[in-house]
Amino acid sequence: MKGYAICYVLFPILFVAFLVESAGAAEGEKDGVYIVYMGAATGSSKNDHAQLLSSVLKRRKNALVQSYVHGISGFAARLSATEAQSIAKTPGVVSVFRDPVYQLHTTRSWDFLKYGTDVVIDSSPNSDSNSSSGGYDSIIGILDTGISPESESFSGKDLGPIPSRWNGTCVDAHDFCNGKIIGARAYNSPDDDDDDDGLDNTPRDMIGHGTHVASTAAGTVVPDASYYGLATGTAKGGSPGSRIAMYRVCTRYGCHGSSILAAFSDAIKDGVDILSLSLGSPASFMLDYKEDPIAIGAFHAVENGITVVCSAGNDGPSEETVTNVAPWILTVAATTIDRKFESNVVLDGGKVIKGEAINFANIGTSPVHPLVYGKSAKKTDATESEARNCNPDSMDGEMIKGKIVLCDNDDDSYSFYDKEYEVQSLGGIGLVLVDDKMSGVASNYNEFPLTVISSKDAPGILSYLNSTKNPVATILPSTVVSQYKPAPTIAYFSSRGPSSLSRNILKPDIAAPGVDILAAWMANDTEVTLKGKESPKFNIISGTSMSCPHVSGMAAVVKSQYPSWSPSAIKSAIMSTASQINNMKAPITTELGAIATAYDYGAGEISTSGALQPGLVYETTTTDYLNFLCYHGYNTSTIEVISKDVPDGFTCPKESSVDLISNINYPSIAVFNLTGKQSKNITRTLTNVAGDGNSTYSLTIEAPSGLTITVSPTSLQFTKNSQRLSYQVIFTTTVPSLLKDVFGSIIWTNKKLKVRTPFVASSR
Ligand X SMILES: *[C@@H]1O[C@H](CO)[C@@H](O)[C@H](O)[C@H]1NC(C)=O
Catalytic residues: 144, 209, 545
> What backbone torsions phi and psi does residue 570 show, to the nearest 5 degrees?
-65, -45
Residues from 262 through 301 that contact ligand X (CB under 6 A): 269
Tell the smallest beta-carbon distance from residue 592 to ligand X (Å).
Answer: 23
Question: Out of 130, 178, 202, 749, which residue is the one contacting ligand X (CB under 6 A)?
Answer: 130
DSSP readout, 110-128? HH------B------HHHH
Neighbours of 399 (CB within 10 A): 19
The reply to whether 129 sits near ligand X by the rule CB under 6 A is: yes
Provide the greatest CA pair distance for the chain.
84
Judged by beta carbon, residue 48 or residue 659, the one nearer ligand X is 659
**Virtual CA dihedral for 276, 153, 119, 530, nearest 10 degrees?**
-110
Stretch in the footprint of ligand X (CB under 6 A) among 79-87, 346-354, 571-579, 632-640: 632-640
Question: Out of 85, 202, 638, 685, which residue is the one contacting ligand X (CB under 6 A)?
Answer: 638
DSSP readout, 486-543? S--BB-TTS--SS-SS-TTS----EEEE-SSEEEE--TT-GGGPPTTSPPPSEEEE-S
Residues from 665 through 724 that contact ligand X (CB under 6 A): 672-673, 681, 683, 693-694, 719
Judged by beta carbon, residue 1 or residue 660, the one nearer ligand X is 660
Tell the smallest beta-carbon distance from residue 639 to ligand X (Å).
Answer: 9
User: b vs e for 451-486, b when ≥16 Cβ sit within 10 Å of the residue's Cβ?
Assistant: bbbeeeebeebeebbeeeeebbbbbbbbebeeebeb
Question: Out of 92, 161, 459, 647, which residue is the one contacting ligand X (CB under 6 A)?
Answer: 459
The reply to whether 150 sits near ligand X by the rule CB under 6 A is: yes
Q: DSSP 3-state assignment of 63?
A: coil
Judged by beta carbon, residue 482 or residue 637, the one nearer ligand X is 637
Say how far apart CA 390 and CA 210 lie, in whole Å: 34
**Backbone CA torsion sign across 191, 194, 198, 203:** negative
Stretch in the footprint of ligand X (CB under 6 A) among 254-262, 455-463, 566-574, 582-590: 455-463
Instruction: Specify which residues 172 forms β-bridges with.
Output: none
* x-or-dash string of contact with ligand X, 171-210, rule CB under 6 A: ----------------------------------------
Beta strand pairing call for 517-520 and 538-541: antiparallel
Contact 764, 739 (CB under 8 A): no
Say how far apart CA 683 and CA 730 lie, in whole Å: 9
Tell the smallest beta-carbon distance from residue 37 to ligand X (Å).
Answer: 12
Cβ neighbours of residue 459 closer than 8 Å, sequence gap 6 or more: none
The reply to whether 737 sits near ligand X by the rule CB under 6 A is: no
Is the backbone of residue 599 left (phi > 0), alpha (psi -120 to 50) or beta?
Answer: alpha
* x-or-dash string of contact with ligand X, 43-82, rule CB under 6 A: ----------------------------------------
Amino acid at 100: P
Judged by beta carbon, residue 530 or residue 730, the one nearer ligand X is 730
Amino acid at 125: P
Stretch in the footprint of ligand X (CB under 6 A) among 323-331, 440-448, 461-469, 543-551: 461-469
**Half-sphere exposure of residue 426: CA atoms within 13 angstroms, side-chain side:** 28
Residues from 98 through 127 that contact ligand X (CB under 6 A): none
Beta strand pairing call for 101-104 and 274-277: unpaired
Instruction: Specify which residues 709 forms β-bridges with.
Output: 731
Tell the smallest beta-carbon distance from residue 692 to ligand X (Å).
Answer: 7
Question: Out of 503, 559, 680, 756, which residue is the one contacting ligand X (CB under 6 A)?
Answer: 503
Say how far apart CA 79 and CA 36 lie, in whole Å: 10
Question: Out of 45, 524, 678, 708, which residue is the one contacting ligand X (CB under 6 A)?
Answer: 524
Tell the smallest beta-carbon distance from residue 194 to ligand X (Å).
Answer: 21
The reply to whether 167 sits near ligand X by the rule CB under 6 A is: yes
Question: Out of 730, 734, 735, 737, which residue is the one contacting ligand X (CB under 6 A)?
Answer: 730
Stretch in the footprint of ligand X (CB under 6 A) among 508-516, 606-614, 616-624, 633-641: 633-641
Helix (H) or strand (E) holding 715: strand 715-718
Tell the smallest beta-carbon distance from residue 340 to ligand X (Å).
Answer: 26
DSSP readout, 303-346? HTT-EEEEE--S-TTSSS------TTSEEEEEE--S-EEE--EE
The reply to whether 93 sits near ligand X by the rule CB under 6 A is: no
Tell the smallest beta-carbon distance from residue 219 to ligand X (Å).
Answer: 12
| Size of residue set near ligand X by CB under 6 A | 29
Note the helical H segments in 28-63.
46-56
Residues from 206 through 265 that contact ligand X (CB under 6 A): 221, 223
Question: Out of 47, 651, 728, 737, which residue is the one contacting ligand X (CB under 6 A)?
Answer: 728
Q: Where are the beta strands (DSSP E) in 621-667?
A: none
Tell the smallest beta-carbon distance from residue 462 to ligand X (Å).
Answer: 4
Which residues of the shown chain bind ligand X in the complex (CB under 6 A)?
A: 129-130, 150, 167, 221, 223, 269, 459, 462-463, 466, 503-504, 523-524, 635, 637-638, 658-659, 672-673, 681, 683, 693-694, 719, 728, 730
